[in-house]
Every structure is written in C-alpha cells, then in structure tokens.
Homo-oligomer: A and B are copies of this chain.
Amino acid sequence: MRITAYFYLAAFLLPSVAVGAEGMWTLDNLPRAALQSDFGFQPDAAWVEKVQKSSVRLAGGCSGSFASPDGLVLTNHHCIWRCVEQLSTTEHNYMRDGFLARAHGDELQCPNTELNQLTAITDVTERVWAATEGQSGEAFVAAQRAEMSRIEQACAGDDPTVRCDVVTLYHGGLYHLYRYQRYDDVRLVWAPELKASLFGGDPDNFNFPRYSLDASVLRAWRDGKPAATPDHFSWNKAGAVEDELVFVTGHPGSTQRLLTVTQLELRRDLTLVDQLLYLAELRGLLNHYATLGDAQKLHSQYDILMVENSYKAIRGRLQALKDPAVFEFKRAEERMLRDWVAADPARIAEFGSAWDEIAQAQDAYRALHRRYTLIEQSRGFRGRLYSIARGLVRAADERQKPSEERLREYRDTALQSLAQNLLSPAPIHADYERLHLAWSLTKLREELGADDPLVRAALGNDSPADLARTLVEGTKLFDLDYRRALWEGGAEAVAASDDPLIAFVRRIDGEARAVRAQYENEVGAAERANQQRIARVLFELKGTDAYPDATFTLRLSYGQVRGWEEHDRKIGPFTVLAGAFERHTGADPFALPDSWFAARPQLDMDQPVNFVTTHDIIGGNSGSPVINRDAEVVGLVFDGNIHSLGGDYWYDQRLNRAVSVHSGLIIHALRHIYDAGELLRELGQ
C-alpha cells in the first residue's frame, strides 16, 4: 500500500484545504465547510438530531440503526453471529438455516446484547484536566479515574436504562460525556443463512467485487414490549447512484492516527506480530476442532470467524506499517509539531518533553508486554468460564471500595452491563471451554517459562490439559444460580466458595492486578498525560478542524459512491445478483444457500448487491447505515476493501473504500427469498 502523504498532511496541518472523504467526525463538530464547498450540502440541526438518535451502537463492538417506530434495528448479520450461535442447537441451527420471526412473540432474546442510543453530548474537558493538573504516574491514573467515575455517576444516577461514558477525544485534547439510552432486551427478528451473509468467506473478506447479504434485523424491547423509537431511518430501495454524496453514521472502534512515531514502532516491531502469531495458532486449533462434528462446528464458528477477521485485518495493518514511506511521513509530521514547540521557550516548557516521555513509556511496555497480555489481558487464560470467574472475583473485591477508586470496568455505572455479561444465560460448552483453557495455559507456560513463579502457581504439577480438565469438570459456574449467588453474595460469598475455578483465579489474580497496576502507572499514565499534551499542540495549531481518533463513539463520515483503480484495472462501484450466481461453485465458502436457488426465478439479476464508497471507516462501523442527503438508508456498511486495512494509521482516498450491502438487496431478498411480508410492511416497504 502507498500512502497519500499530501492528503494526509493536509488534513492535519493545513486547515484551509478540504480533503476528500477523510475523517470520522463527532456529531457536534461536522466538517461543515467542506460539505458546503464540495457538495453544497449544509445539514441543519434537525438533520443532525435525527441522524444521531436514529443511529445505535451494539455495545459488543458494532453499529446499527433504528428502522421502524417500534424498535426494529438494522445491522450486519456478522454483528449478531454470537447471539445467533447462542440461540442455536445442532437441531435448530439458525446460523446454518437462518431465522425469521413471523410475529412479535416469536422473536428470540439475544442472551447478551446491549444497544445504546446517544441522547446527549456534554463537554467535561475542564473538569477532567483540573482533576489531574500537575499529576503523573499512579496519582494521574487515580485522579483521572475518580473524576471520570464521578461525572458518569452524576449523569446516570440509578437509572438502568441510562448509560453515561466519559469519552477521551484527541487522546485527551477533549473529554466529552456521552449519555445513552440503554436497551438490554434485544431480540432476533430476521437473520439469513450464513452462506448468504458470508458468501466468499475468508478469501473474499476485505475484498471487492463482493456478493454478500451481511444483514439482519433485531428489535429493541422495553418492559416486555417492543420499544418506542420515534427516531428512525426509512429505507430507500433504489439506493444511491455513482458519485452521489452519502453518509455513514456509526461507531468506529479505534484508530491510531495521532500516535507518535515510537508508539507506531512498538506496534510494528512487537505487538502486531505477537498478536498475529497468537491468532494464527488459535486459528489452526479452532479450524481443526470445527471439523470434528456439527456441535464442534457450531460452538467454534463464531470464534473462528472473528479470529480470521482479526488475523486478516492485523496483517493488513502490519503490512501498512512495514512500508518505509509511512514512517518517513509520520516522522515528518511529528517533526512539524516538534519544530513548532521548539520555536518558543514557553512551548518547550509546556510540551517539549511529551514525545520523549512517550518513547520511554514504549520501552517500559516492551519489558511488560508478555506478562501484561498473558496474565492481565488473559491471553494465557482463555474461555468464558475463566472470564466469568475473574469477573466475579474482581467484582467482589472492587465493590467493597468507593466507585471512583475501583478499576474502571467495575465502577457503579458499568455494573449493569457487567452483570448482564456475567449472568448471561448463553450456553457454555464444557468441551470447548477445555480446549481454550488448555491451549492458553500452554501459551502461558511457553511464553513465561516453566520456572516462572506465576506459571508454577497456576499449573502446580499439572499439565495444561490436565489442569483445564480438572477446572472445567469441577466448576459450578455453568450454573446460572450459582453465579448469581456469587454476584449477589459479593466478597463474603466468593471467599466462602470452594469452586476450583474461583480458587484458581484467586491464586493468580494478585499477580494479574500487580501487572495491570504496573502497566497503568508506568505506561498508560505516561501515554495519556503526554498524548494530552501533544493533543493540545495540535489544537493550538488547528483547533477542532481535525477529527479525533476513533473511540467507539458516534461519528459521521461523508463520501461518495465510487470504485477505484487497481494496477490499471478499473473496479466499478456496484455488483449485481447475476455475479453472485456466477461466483457460486457449490463448495463453501462459495456456495449460495438453497433458498436463493429456489427463489431464483423471481429474482432480478440486475439488482445491485454490494457497493463501495469512499468513506473513512474502521472496525466498529460494521452495521452502520449508509444514508443519503434525505437521511434515508441506501446501504449497510459491512466491510472495507484490502486497502482500507491501513486505515488505522491514515486514510488514502485513492484506494481506501468501504463496502456495503445495497438497501435494495435487503428488501428484494426479504420479499422474494425470505417471504418476510410482515417485516417488510413494518419497514414501510
């Protein structure tokens, strides 16, 4: 991949130059000048409010949009695979066969899905800055955590339908309080067969031309009834035409565009490769496990898809960071900021050391990396059972402290979501748990060495496989009542528990907490404090004409329906149904479902299937609606092309493309393939 240094530089350093479609803009700071000058479009307040309130976030890591006044939500099929898998059995396999609720009563509750609808944004920058003024290291971490927790608590109160998050924008240049309506009763309405949503599978992932019906419909419920959602988008089945200005509203997860050179080097030289190696081995393991039978396939399918997706995405990012031109450019960019600082003694005093302090934090991280990822980030302890056990043990400890002194994920305002997770009725499969735990314990021993004290404390005289078997066979955490007793009984109940997995977590959690504290104090604090300083440099130069790195909060990206050129070959922006049938070989992942062949006589072979646009998106945008100037849905984002994988670090408007399902395909398929007349009527089609 080649970067477009000119455009990128322009976006950050030359406020007066409008730059293609780059940018993931917060809704309170849209690029109005560019929209006006390039497209003659000026969104009014009503447009912005409608867009904001019609967009939703799936708390697990995706985006979506309300599609009816009664809570219907459009998102990708791949965003709800976990739910579909949890609702499936080998007899009723909705992953394989798809699902359609023909009446409200038939809708199936996702065991563990939370929707968030953004209702208000408040600037709290001054409060957070004031709280950490003059602090560093552990004191900085504690002060910031406490202040953010207080702000959130005051916002959410005890209302379980409200969620409040303090969001760090521009790496600390701004702190905003996001207030959400929270929906935790989310039900499955329609899902196609996996063969339809995943047509092309891993080989076609991040590629285009593409033929995928990666769409599904959920419904938000409230108090046992479909939720009232007056703010929602209507669908335009004609879609958008080539070059048309369209928008993506969604929740890009994270980008790294404002990182310093040393932070990027750490990723290039250590963390990305390490992640890839871990994922590659896990992938080999899971793919073989999946061949053993229908149950094994069903239980591992979601993880395999996620692992393969991450693997391909991270490999693309590594590839991007290996381009020497990228670092040349990043160095030039950084030099400009530093030169500006160096030109004035007051600036030197205030900002001068920021880059070097971040560099030191990177070195500190190198020494911590293995222990931190294996022990605290649980690469050495995989599986839902372990994750539940740790959540229960830590929650019991943390809830004895005041909210603002707790580890951030245990603050009062986070407990609703945490409990939903720990007490989810989703099935847990013993054999599959054992597979993950045994393998990850092997990695723990391999990476830290058999003589490491924590490894000895974890394994004792057992082999990883034996220990995993003992723990999974012995634990009572499969039992939802037992989990609830520990959750509600708190520290006392957990201390009294003789559950072997709870005991195992207690054996290692001291060290895990110590590693985390070391990470937060020696790395995290320095990064946050100094990125905040660099963000202020950027602000001095540019104000908020730059967009902040993605933070899994609502953003708007604008762009056009447009193909690209690849080695002198022109790739057009649309695919049509005829192409899907041509690409069908009959062998997975190139096998269309039987239902498509049954419906073939009724299908319009010219119906657009997927299309590409120039939007600047990233993981987390999956499920985002593509809307036109009239705020009508014309598509559903589900992927980027291969060139978009470098999007973590920059945006290349010549090549970077978002890939979406055409609105017309969803309607066409619901009508002619899935016979979903009632649903279509509710969607106003």
A119-127, A199-207, A244-252 - interface stretch? A199-207
Q: Which residue of B lies closest to A642 (CB)?
A: B449
Q: Which residues of B contact A446 (CB under 8 A)?
A: 202-203
Is A281 on the interface with B (CB-CB < 8 A)? yes
Q: Which residue of B lies closest to A277 (CB)?
A: B280
Partner of A280, one of B200, B281, B291: B281
Is A585 on the interface with B (CB-CB < 8 A)? yes
Q: Which residue of B lies closest to A292 (CB)?
A: B292
Q: Which residue of B lies closest to A450 (CB)?
A: B203
Q: What 0/1 readout, one digit per residue, does chain A (567-598) give for beta carbons within 8 Å of chain B?
A: 00000000000000000011110100000000
- B273 and A284: CB pair below 8 A? no
**A267 smallest CB distance to B (angstroms):** 13
What CA separation (Å) do A246 and B322 show in the bound complex?
Answer: 44
- B288 and A445: CB pair below 8 A? no
How many residues of A are in contact with the other chain, CB < 8 A?
Answer: 41
- A449 and B203: CB pair below 8 A? yes
Is A282 on the interface with B (CB-CB < 8 A)? yes
What CA separation (Å) do A108 and B140 show in the bound complex?
Answer: 70
Q: What 0/1 readout, one digit per residue, does chain A (274-286) give for beta carbons within 8 Å of chain B?
A: 0011101111111
Is A356 on the interface with B (CB-CB < 8 A)? no
Q: Which residues of B contact A106 (CB under 8 A)?
A: none
Is A466 on the interface with B (CB-CB < 8 A)? yes
Q: Which residues of B contact A269 (CB under 8 A)?
A: 322
Is A675 on the interface with B (CB-CB < 8 A)? no
Is A461 on the interface with B (CB-CB < 8 A)? yes
Is A136 on the interface with B (CB-CB < 8 A)? no
Partner of A282, one of B276, B277, B284: B284
Q: Which residues of B contact A276 (CB under 8 A)?
A: 273, 277
- B289 and A461: CB pair below 8 A? no
- B466 and A587: CB pair below 8 A? yes
What CA separation (Å) do A466 and B207 show in the bound complex?
Answer: 24
Partner of A285, one of B200, B288, B449: B288
Is A462 on the interface with B (CB-CB < 8 A)? yes
Q: Which residues of B contact A466 (CB under 8 A)?
A: 587
**A569 smallest CB distance to B (angstroms):** 12
- A461 and B587: CB pair below 8 A? yes
What CA separation (Å) do A308 and B288 show in the bound complex?
Answer: 18
A272-325 interface with B by 8 A CB criterion: 273, 276-278, 280-289, 291, 315, 318, 322
Is A463 on the interface with B (CB-CB < 8 A)? yes
**A609 smallest CB distance to B (angstroms):** 17
Task: From known contacts A461-B585, A585-B461, A587-B466, infer whether A207 and B282 are also in contact, taking CB-CB under 8 Å.
Answer: no
A420-457 interface with B by 8 A CB criterion: 435, 439, 445-446, 449-450
- A204 and B450: CB pair below 8 A? yes
- The winner among A202, A281, A585 for most chain B CB atoms within 10 A is A281
- B587 and A463: CB pair below 8 A? yes
**A548 smallest CB distance to B (angstroms):** 31
What CA separation (Å) do A281 and B446 show in the bound complex?
Answer: 16
Partner of A288, one of B284, B322, B590: B284
What CA separation (Å) do A445 and B204 show in the bound complex?
Answer: 10
- B463 and A588: CB pair below 8 A? yes
**A290 smallest CB distance to B (angstroms):** 10
What CA separation (Å) do A76 and B462 show in the bound complex?
Answer: 28
What CA separation (Å) do A446 and B585 show in the bound complex?
Answer: 17
Q: Which residue of B lies closest to A587 (CB)?
A: B463
What CA separation (Å) do A204 and B284 show in the bound complex?
Answer: 23
Q: Which residues of B contact A281 (CB under 8 A)?
A: 280-281, 283-284
Q: Which residue of B lies closest to A283 (CB)?
A: B281
- B203 and A445: CB pair below 8 A? yes
Q: Which residues of B contact A288 (CB under 8 A)?
A: 284-285, 288-289, 435
Task: From known contacts A281-B284, A284-B284, A284-B288, infer whether A449 and B587 are also in contact, taking CB-CB under 8 Å.
Answer: no
Q: Which residue of B lies closest to A448 (CB)?
A: B203
**A254 smallest CB distance to B (angstroms):** 23
Complex A-B, nearest 10 residue pairs according to Cβ-Cβ distance, in ascending order: A284-B284, A284-B285, A463-B587, A280-B280, A281-B284, A461-B585, A203-B450, A280-B281, A288-B288, A277-B280
Can you identify 24 A-B contacts, CB atoms within 8 angstroms?
Answer: A203-B445, A203-B449, A270-B322, A273-B273, A273-B276, A273-B318, A276-B277, A280-B281, A280-B284, A281-B283, A282-B284, A283-B284, A284-B284, A284-B285, A284-B286, A284-B439, A285-B285, A285-B287, A287-B439, A288-B288, A291-B465, A462-B585, A463-B588, A466-B587
In the complex, besides A203-B445, A281-B283, 18 extra interface pairs with C-beta distance below 8 angstroms are A203-B450, A269-B322, A273-B276, A277-B315, A278-B280, A281-B284, A282-B284, A284-B286, A285-B285, A287-B439, A288-B288, A288-B289, A288-B435, A450-B590, A461-B585, A461-B587, A462-B585, A463-B587
